[in-house]
Structure 1
Amino acid sequence: MISVKKLSFSYPKKPWLCEEMDLELSEGKIIGLLGLNGAGKSTLMRLMAGLLKPVSGEVSFEGGATFDRSIPFLNQMIFVPEKVSVPEFLKVKEYSSVYQDFYSGFDLDRFEKLLSEFQIIGNQRVSNLSYGQQKKLQIAIGLSTGAKLLLFDEPTNGLDIPSKSTFRRVLSGSLQEDQTMVISTHQVKDIENLVDQIIVLDEGKVKLHADLEELENQFVFSQGPQAPDQAVFVESHLLGAQYIVKQPYGERNSGGSPDLELLFNAVIAGKLAGEFLSTQNQATS
């Protein structure tokens, strides 16, 4: 689907945001893209969308460079940026018709259902919608295009709590086998129990790219009055500690769903990525 090979990118006179980066994203996955502010999440999304040109290396979609912005690629990719820019005079349904004309797989029935879910009226002017409603409109359009590659940058920013719940509900189980969705966010809790894979960026590198199911099988994410001595990573709090330990050899599926915030903090602290990669190497050697 998406292949990133030896990708390097920086803005003029700025540090590298991507440096010799390699990634392979497969179909049928919802992927959470995490990183500290300024880690390059939005930049990587724009490189995937073909909006930025790599300094070196390549980003390709089904064999073609994304920066070429070919019509077949654009017809199969939708990028929903964090900050939306909307037309001043068009109504919601007039605005959506622009996307219907371009995306051959646009599902109008699904779009209208999503408008209802998000409580958006089709004859409203887009410019009269609140920021949160404009975000929900863009999400509804993105999910209705039928595109194979969906890139959502901070989609839950500006959404209230009920809208975040609706976003998770409509997204859960909605991805087709030939689709891939990448969600860039710093609001980790918003994508828990939603994503299949996680990517953590730090210092221009991919510090972790893993299936959550595999992490779940190899590590236990837990909490208690005190962390065990063999814990890979520990965060103390007033009532005790949250911690990650290796799954006992030969045991699987006893760890429960990974705590993404704890996972992210462990990777940024350099406590988990090496551990996980070493177990992966042992498993494949």
Structure 2
Amino acid sequence: MTLKFKDLTVKYTMSGTLKDGGADTNISSKINSNTDTNTNTNTITALDNISLEINQGECVAVIGESGSGKSTLSLASMKLLASNAFISGQIFLDNVDISDLTDKEMEKLRWNKISIVFQNYGDVLNPVHRIIDQIAEPLIKNGESRSAALERSKKMLDHLKIKPGRDILFPHQISAGERQRVLIAMALITDPDILVLDEPVASVDAITKSYLAKVIKEQVDAGKAVLMITHDLSFAHLCSDRIAVLYSGMILELLPSQKLLDAPLHPYTRALVRSFPMMERAKDLAGVRGAPPSKTSGAPIGCIFQQRCTQSIDVCSQKQP
């Protein structure tokens, strides 16, 4: 099964009257234009005309600064965007455009065909339920017996290096790294065809990070399509086949992982590589100067990175590279 984004644009309404003058609470709302219909509606463009395909047996990493739209992309893949999100474009699971599906239809796909590891475990794990019960929940919901679901959940925790006996603990009783692995267990337990990982190693140590890279590679080798959101260039290099560089809601570059890190084409990608210690061990680190452009000002003319770029020339203000 493949995951495909085609011309995907996501905007969030911040105030004023929504399109057609009504309060639209449908999270899958689609618009046919990238312009706002009411001048008193303030919008933020989180994703701008994204086209990306993650194939069966492939891991694609999406990297970029905070606020670039990475988590919006991951939530869009599960059709879990907030009620003030307006979407244009399409999202395909194989040949099925999920933007046309109802919530009830999506429920049959979530945690079965496609699963996600959310970024913030504090918002996901229920503090009053044991971790093993939370992992087993989707199995039981799908008709598996409680005893069989708990047994499978124990094996999954063992696979993710959670020590025996800790499965009966509550989220606050385990470490941040263990909670992160519990989220991964919850995503893997139903053996989905597509796996979405939003910052999967943000709270783990170097040894655990290395092991989780092995787990992700196992999923790819098993034919899964893996979309990985990360700030960590070294982890992206370790796990992914291709890397997409996201900046202010736009994909600036998409290359095979090794090629992107060895010979990045876009100045922003080069700046990211220079700013990451594991990529440039023998060189002084250099941050990306300036700040990203406002997401409320509309699509820019020319290169979106021009104002921060150290290599900008006249043509950069006229067209995208």
Length-normalised TM-score, structure 1: 0.69
Q: Is the 8 A contact 2:9 2:48 kept in 1?
A: yes
Distance 1:38 1:166 in 2: 28
Deviation at 1:167, TM superposition (A): 1.5
Alignment gaps of 5+ in structure 1: 223-231, 243-264, 272-285
The one-letter code of the counterpart of 2:115 is I
Equivalent residue for 1:118?
A: 162
Q: Deviations over 1:100-159 (max 9, x none)?
A: 2246898657514324x1336222123422332211111122233210111111111121
CA change 1:241–1:86 in 2 (3 A) is closer
Residue 92 (structure 1) shift: 2.4
The residue type paired with residue 119 of structure 2 is E
Alignment match, 1:283: none
Aligned partners of 1:7 and 1:54 also within 8 Å = no
Equivalent in the alignment of 1:260: none
Q: In the TM superposition, what is the alpha-carbon distance from 1:41 to its structure 2 partner?
A: 0.2
The one-letter code of the counterpart of 2:56 is E
Is 2:127 the counterpart of 1:88?
yes
- Equivalent-residue separation in structure 1 for 2:97 and 2:79 (angstroms): 8
The 1:113–1:269 alpha-carbon spacing in structure 2 relative to 1, beyond 3 Å, is: farther
- Distance, in Å, in 2 between the alignment partners of 1:131 and 1:140 is 14
Matched to 2:211, the amino acid is: T
Residue 9 of structure 1 aligns with an amino acid whose one-letter code is V
- Corresponding residue SS for 1:140: helix
Instruction: Check 1:179–1:220 CA distance in 2 against 1; reply closer, same or farther (3 A cut).
Output: closer
Cα deviation 1:243-279 (Å, max 9, x = unaligned): xxxxxxxxxxxxxxxxxxxxxx9xx9698xxxxxxxx
Counterpart secondary structure, 1:175 = helix
In 2, the alpha carbon distance for the partners of 1:269 and 1:49 equals: 34
Alpha-carbon distance in structure 1 between the residues aligned to 2:116 and 2:142: 13
How many residue pairs get aligned? The number is 234
Report Cα offsets for 1:31-81 as digits up to 9, x if no partner. Answer: 111111111000011111111265211112122233424244222111111
My pick for the range that moved more, 104-113 or 124-133, is: 104-113
1:170 corresponding residue in structure 2: 215
Counterpart of 1:100 (choices 126, 131, 139) is: 139
Corresponding residue of 1:73? 109
TM-aligned CA distance change 1:56 to 1:171, over 3 Å: closer
Deviations 1:165-220 (A, max 9, x none): 2222333334344311111011222332211111111132211222336x37xx95
- Taking the aligned partners of 1:2 and 1:27, their CA distance within structure 2 comes to 8
1:199 aligned to 2:229? no
When the two structures are superposed, what TM-score results if normalisation uses the length of structure 2?
0.62
The one-letter amino acid paired with 2:90 is: E
- The whole-number CA distance in structure 1 between the counterparts of 2:48 and 2:263 is 31
| Secondary structure of 1:155's aligned partner | coil
- Check whether the contact 1:118–1:163 (CA below 8 A) recurs between aligned residues: no
| Pair 133,35 (structure 1): closer, same or farther in 2 beyond 3 Å | same
The alignment yields a C-alpha RMSD, in angstroms, of 3.4
What SS does structure 2 have at the residue aligned with 1:55? strand
- Specify which structure has the higher proportion of strand: 1
Q: Which residue of 2 aligns with 1:58?
A: 90
Corresponding position of 2:8:
7
1:208 aligned partner, one-letter code: E
Q: Give unpaired runs (5+ residues) of structure 2.
A: 14-41, 286-304, 312-321
Structure-2 change in CA distance of 1:168 and 1:269 (3 Å):
farther
Identity of aligned residues (%): 18
